A and B are shown apart, each in its own frame.
Chain A
Amino acid sequence: MRKKSRDESVYNMLRAERDRCALVIEKIARELEKLPKGSLGQRKVKSHGKEYIYPCLRYRDGSTVKFEHLSPEQAEELKPALERRKKLQADLRANKKRIATLDAILPKG
């Protein structure tokens, strides 16, 4: 029976790229651990007939969503770190997607 020949170098290149993406994911995961979780928002509190608006940090803790009141200064300080987290999470997703694509191309085993 005729055996299909296959250029292993191409597959090895793809494997190397998959391994590289896995290393990038590890780097991003380590970085994400250092960054605050959640997103900035505002909470309205009604008291004595008046409505107060506070900046707050919303984040998930298990199955519950928590709200942490912040001062406007704290909220400003947190902004760059939260934006960085968001950006790195997008990079993480991009790398996971690339690994999934490469896994689909690469022969199993």
Chain B
Amino acid sequence: MQAATSLVPKNYLTEKQGILSWLFTTDHKRIGILYTGSITAFFFLGGFFALLMRLELLTPETNLVQAETYNKLFTMHGIIMVWFFLIPSIPNTLGNFFIPMAIGAKDLAFPKLNLLSWYVFMLGAGITIYALCRGGVDTGWTFYTPFSTSYSTTYVVAAAIGILVNGFSSIATGLNFIVTIHKMRAPGLTWFRLPIFCWSMYATSMILVLATPVLAITLLMVAVERLAQVGIFDPALGGDPVLFQHMFWFYSHPAVYIMVLPGMAVVSEIIPAFSRKPLFGYKAVAFSSIAIAVLGFFVWGHHMFVAGTSVYSAMTFSLLSYFIAVPSAIKVFNWTATVYGGAVSWDTPMLYAVGFIGLFTIGGMTGLFLAALGLDVHVTDTYFVIAHFHYIMVGGTVMAYLGGVHYWWPKISGKMYPEGIARLSAATVFLGFNLTFFPQFILGYLGMPRRYAAYPPEFHMLNVLSTAGASILAVGYVMPLFYLLWSWKYGPAAGPNPWRATGLEWKTESPPPKHNFEVTPVVTYGAYDYEALKEELQLVS
């Protein structure tokens, strides 16, 4: 497979070399890789805090860390995982890399804004790490007032500013993606010929642009209140802490859809590719993505059922939260229908995608339990909630992210990863994940509250199981770091389309040239038209 070096065409990696060419690049593919490096580092940092938490929870008493330190651990775990890993994860890595390629464009609409967004991201991260190094924050990632504004003695303002700055990176990314998908599609690529990856990333971008500014202003108000000692959320001055919660959750609920929609985007690509069939119900899935993004803005009050909102408000939010399960379910049904009757190959990306469907379904259905007012009063602020959102964020998004990385690895690196160890790693992640988080559903139902370093001794056994699972999960996450990087250097060359999948990105070299395509493609068929492309895909090895 090795051609003579003088004849090897330049690709985006070899085009210009040296660290400055990376730091000043405007190539969306290189920026995607810059982001990948950053979020991987933050993932392991956030994961390290989680591991410390799980070690503390191995015993009922507070013995590894003090309660105040434990508060800081779960806060930093949440802040880093939500804002510095999950939200940028798929959009800024796989989205950056593949949206232009999937639509046949040379780059995003605003390449320099894209690079700026990475620097702003790193600035926000730097400020947050500064807060971490000065002792961390102990308010919980939710920054509830008046504790965060009046009583906490930790570095709340620094953390708030770090997250606020990071928010601008998100807004820039969302803006870039929306404009790109509207204006930069290749000739013949109508909206209903777009891969679902683009539809879901578009829906994600809608949320990024509309919700993130509200987070920025909310955190700004918290910072102003702390610094100027004025009372916006201070009851003594007539302020209302519940107003903070309204403003915070107006962003943070749609934020969870920012985290899951890209996962669905990736799964919508992997399932047809490895079932070798068109995606079932294309329009239903496309519109469901938009529906999730829109409906996601109507349900934030379900985080506030016990906060003191009015009953009518709570009932409205509860009802709307039930509605939003529908488009997600539509997607799950359509993915399943796609697999049915297909020529399925169980490569690693498919393992992760199917794992996503199962775990996301469990997580999503437990969300319905939480949406029921009466049940929520019992399980809110317990480990039930924690298990619910980890099933979606970790069992869902992280698995989809790993699936996407494996699926597109040959395109990004030009090399194939070792399949055997990759499958072992996927199985380890799946096993470790379920062992970690399933006991937490039971713990929550039995009444163990969240954010406590100590617990009653009757919860001991389940906590031990959970911690054991966490250590297995950690191994499963570390493995890809090694074999993927190994394969970059030593793996076999992958060729343009090793999976024989549809999609414009597979029509160009692996790794792609700087401008993605030698000639701008003209699209005359739908996104998953395996029938029309049967001949063509057989020819490519």
Partners in one complex: no
List chain B positions with a Cβ less than 8 A from chain A: none
